[in-house]
Structure 1
Amino acid sequence: MSDGWHRPLRLHELARGPVSLALAPDDGERAAVAKRLGLSSLPALKAQLTVKPWLDGAEIAGRFDAIVGYVCGVTLEPFEQAVSGEIHARAVPAGSPNAPTEAGSGEMELDLEADDPPDVLSGDAIDVTEYVIEHLSLEIDPFPRKPGATFDYASDAKEESPFAVLKKLKDPKP
């Protein structure tokens, strides 16, 4: 079993143009991703990405399809569910003039309609699998419920009014 799933792509590999990638981790890599994301299993994961030059960095776009193994929060039974999503991200090398600047003080303006700022790479390579794992983690249901599972709870204790409880405290029985 490997320690994870990695597919680095060096920025200089984009000099000739866009690079298309079909990614599919093996059994050990899927198990490592499932453990990392707190899933009971990850029976399938495939991603189709295109990485193209963007300014002095790269733009990653594509989609992923997965089958995720959950444990039902109601019945505690395992079940599987299909999950898919789109990937769109940008990255620039450290020291790039296009890297987002850290605002030390003052107000920060947010434009909810604007694209996210690019990620800053620590080296000259992009681990494209990290973008797949990140976007997969955003699609995972934090409170999975098996289809058809219902939560029916009926308390056995008779509910007393707060005043009845206070009366018992005032007039204790001998």
Structure 2
Amino acid sequence: MTVKPNQLDLDAIIKVDKIPAAGRVVTIETDQEQREALAERLKVSEVTDFSAKVTASRFRGGVRAQGQVKGTVIQPCVVTGDPVSQDIDEPVDRIFLPGQDAASQATAGAEIFVNLEDDDLPDYFEGNEIDLTDLVLEVFALAIDLYPRKPGAELPEGMAGDDPAELSPFAALKALKKD
């Protein structure tokens, strides 16, 4: 059986009403097939390791998920094309509140207060279950280097690309200026 990338099941569902006072620990370990599907989903060459440990605890009528996501991805260097390995070790801290987001329920002309000082806005859930799979995959995916570079790899002289200063509209205006 082959796991499709959009059907990756990491079994990280928690029942909100079954969370004990000390919290519920969700541990995710992946097998080779799941890591292959994860690599396809994340568009990297390979995911050699992926695991997460998240503790879900009750928090102000909702749930707070805190923990760690770890893994290793391999992808090609943007300069040489050689494989580059990246170790990922990222913290997870997210709040889930019951109900829908107040902003999505607002009517035209309604005022909504948004506190820009807060770290992150909470996520909302419906029902009695929260699937932490998307949370840990999001944290993992955001930690992947978009432009991996092998240590010491540099573009050859003349292949570095266009100078942004020469491409600006002001450079074109300067060329039109007569001294």
Q: Does the alignment reach a TM-score above 0.5? A: yes
CA spacing shift, 1:109–1:146, aligned 2, 3 Å: farther
Q: Does 1:44 align with 2:49?
A: yes
Q: Cα gap change, 1:120/1:148 in structure 2, threshold over 3 Å: closer, same or farther?
A: same
Secondary structure of 1:44 counterpart: strand
1:53 paired to 2:58:
yes
Q: Does 1:125 align with 2:126?
A: no
Partner of 2:103: 101
Shift of 1:94: 2.8
When the two chains are superposed, the root-mean-square deviation of aligned CA atoms in Å is 2.2
SS in 2 for 1:117: coil
Residues in 2 aligned to 1:117 and 1:86: alpha-carbon distance in whole angstroms: 17
Displacement of 1:135: 0.6
Partner of 1:22: 27
Match of 1:151 in 2: 155
Secondary structure at the residue paired with 2:103?
A: coil
For residues 78-105 of structure 1, the C-alpha deviation after alignment (integer angstroms, 9 at most, x for no partner) is 221111111100112335xxx4433444
Q: Deviating runs (4+, > 3 A) in structure 1?
A: 99-112
Determine if contact 1:57/1:91 at 8 Å carries over to the other structure.
yes
Gaps in structure 2 of 5+ consecutive residues: 160-179
The answer as to whether partners of 1:5 and 1:32 remain within 8 angstroms in 2 is: no
Judge conservation of contact 1:5–1:25 (CA < 8 Å) in 2.
no
1:85 paired with 2:90, answer yes
**Which TM-score applies when normalising by structure 1?**
0.76
Question: Take 1:75 and 1:152, find their aligned partners in 2: how far apart are those partners?
Answer: 10
* TM-score, normalising length: structure 2: 0.74
C-alpha change, 1:20 and 1:143, in structure 2 (3 Å) is same
2:21–2:58 contact (8 Å) kept in structure 1: no
Name the SS for the 2:117 alignment partner: coil
- Count of residues in Structure 1 that have an aligned counterpart in Structure 2: 152
Q: Does structure 2 retain, via aligned residues, the 8 Å contact 1:24–1:46?
A: yes
In structure 1, the partner of 2:171 is none
Alignment of 1:58-73 (within 5 A): 58-73=63-78
Quick one: distance in 2 between partners of 1:5 and 1:71? Answer: 27
Q: 1:30 and 1:148 mapped to 2: Cα distance?
A: 29
> What letter corresponds to residue 34 of structure 1 in structure 2?
A
* Residue 46 of structure 1: how far off its partner (Å): 1.6
Q: Which residue of 2 aligns with 1:75?
A: 80
Distance 1:145 1:75 in 2: 8
